[in-house]
Structure 1
Amino acid sequence: MGYQAHLRVWRGDAEGGELRDFTVEANEGEVVLDIIHRLQATQCSDLAVRWNCKAGKCGSCSAEINGRPRLMCMTRMSIFEPDEVITVTPIRTFPVIKDLVTDVSYNYQKAREVPSFSPPKDLQPGEYRMQQQDVNRSQEFRKCIECFLCQNVCHVIRDHEDNKANFAGPRFLMRIAELEMHPLDSLEENTGADRTAVAQSDHGLGFCNITKCCTEVCPENIKITDNALIPMKERVVDRKYDPILRLLPWRKR
């Protein structure tokens, strides 16, 4: 059975904007993105919204719904009361381009700064071998759809614009952790660069104070803090302060 949903949607651009009220038809089984599309089709043809798969796998339709960062395509209308006002605003950490679309190029810049996977030089393609337990360890991090909701809620960059130059954010610190855990990654042997040291010195791992807000909003339920960031922080401390590792550097790996 259909009903009239009450929406409050942010309209504007980089120069400024405001929340505007709309009434839009909603039907059983729909998600917030369906309602935004109907609003776009019937009342606001110039409404800017980014989306692609509508299946929770592309990460494009990130927004803040009633103040909580979510994917619009995975937020069912049934979680709201029919008479409830649903507020939809762009994710707050990144500059607005127009309406619900933000400029997330910061994230792609940080992605380019992460050293890529570096296999042993004497190992040829097709010769890679891993234990299943090593596959399982990093497989969780591969589920990331790069919706950047974790980046959006991280107060290190959300509340402090000047930190962006020196902090990669949870998504890319998790990427570094994933590579550092890979048994075939030989960046240190190949280049002399230690991933944990690079995470600390170049990507701002020390800024993270493990509030777990990134984990709370992850639509893939990746335990970013517990399984990636905290273990990497521990390894940074081990390498810097453990007297055995300082005396026997070959024990580091």
Structure 2
Amino acid sequence: MSTYDARFKVWRGDGDGGGLEDFTVEVHDGEVVLDIIHRLQATQAPDLAVRWNCKAGKCGSCSAEINGRPRLMCMTRMSVFDPADTVTVTPMRAFPVVRDLVTDVSFNYTKAREVPSFVPPQGVAAGEYRMQQIDVDRSQEFRKCIECFLCQDTCHVVRDHEENKPAFAGPRFLMRVAELDMHPLDAAAESGLDRRRTAQDEHGLGYCNITKCCTEVCPEGIHITDNALIPLKERAADRKYDPLVWLGSRIRRRGEHTA
């Protein structure tokens, strides 16, 4: 097994401030960045704070920024770097720092609670739900999300504009709205909930300018922009601006008033 000494810069600090600290640490074949962070904890920085769990790319816990790119530390192999490179590891920039590489991601749980859940169809028991396989496949892609929040971190609407956070759910939760809106069994409309209107008016869909940066950092390869955000934007625009849709809604409302 070959080894070499790598140069690392790791952010140390808390919510009041901090900075990059230099380390030289041994690297072995086949290791990932999280292995190196663990070695730093074991040999040089026992108080280094880092969040992790599965080390298999499925829990989403070890999100950070490596050389400025949002990544999972457990899925970033050291072999992608030249041994002469300095590897910089910093916390996710879009969220407040708790300590070192650990950030407060509670913003995301707040946004998750703001998305109305699936509305079951009336008169159909849970065991009687039936869907076409194409509809299952369409929404199943979005269910692969591991809640790493890298898409939230890289989205410039959240990352660069703190003032947008109250009005913008971010790509992860707009994807959730899109999934529910395209679900053939979701009875939100029958219950009076217009998911396309709420996407625009309450979750900030209009802030998204489809740069695809969220898709680029997704460790599960979910096509967030192409398969969720763009179709949701198209449906929201149809609802708001299509004259035939507008006329149909006027006719329905008039019929309700005269019934």
**Coarse TM-score class (shorter-chain normalised):** over 0.9
Instruction: Please show how residues 1-253 of structure 1 align to structure 2 within 5 Å.
Output: 1-190=2-191, 192-249=192-249
- Partner of residue 255, structure 2: none
Shift, 1:230, TM fit? 0.6
- CA distance in structure 2 between the aligned counterparts of 1:13 and 1:204, rounded to whole angstroms: 30
Q: Deviations over 1:8-46 (max 9, x none)?
A: 000000111010100111100000000000000111110
Shift, 1:223, TM fit? 0.8
Q: Deviations over 1:29-83 (max 9, x none)?
A: 0000000000001111100000001000111001110111100000000011112
- CA distance in structure 2 between the aligned counterparts of 1:23 and 1:230, rounded to whole angstroms: 45
Shift, 1:247, TM fit? 2.5
What one-letter code is carried by the residue in structure 2 that aligns with 1:79? V
Shift, 1:249, TM fit? 3.9
SS at match of 1:151: helix
Percent identity between matched residues is 74
Structure 2 unaligned regions, length at least 5? 253-259
SS at match of 1:248: helix
SS at match of 2:141: helix
- CA distance in structure 2 between the aligned counterparts of 1:110 and 1:39, rounded to whole angstroms: 34
What TM-score results when the alignment is normalised by the length of structure 1? 0.97
Q: Deviations over 1:180-200 (max 9, x none)?
A: 11000001102x111011100
What one-letter code is carried by the residue in structure 1 that aligns with 2:34? L
Q: Deviations over 1:120-158 (max 9, x none)?
A: 121112010000010011111111111101100111111
SS at match of 2:40: helix
- CA distance in structure 2 between the aligned counterparts of 1:77 and 1:71, rounded to whole angstroms: 12
SS at match of 1:48: coil
Shift, 1:221, TM fit? 1.1
- CA distance in structure 2 between the aligned counterparts of 1:114 and 1:198, rounded to whole angstroms: 9
- CA distance in structure 1 between the aligned counterparts of 2:229 and 2:126, rounded to whole angstroms: 30
What one-letter code is carried by the residue in structure 2 that aligns with 1:234? E
Q: Deviations over 1:92-144 (max 9, x none)?
A: 00000000000000000000000000011211120100000100111111111
Shift, 1:241, TM fit? 1.5
- CA distance in structure 1 between the aligned counterparts of 2:249 and 2:71, rounded to whole angstroms: 44
Shift, 1:248, TM fit? 2.5
Q: Deviations over 1:164-206 (max 9, x none)?
A: 000000000000000111000001102x111011100100000
Give the paired residue count: 250
- CA distance in structure 2 between the aligned counterparts of 1:184 and 1:125, rounded to whole angstroms: 11
- CA distance in structure 2 between the aligned counterparts of 1:144 and 1:122, rounded to whole angstroms: 31
Structure 1 unaligned regions, length at least 5? none
SS at match of 2:118: coil
Which 4+ runs in 1 deviate beyond 6 A? none
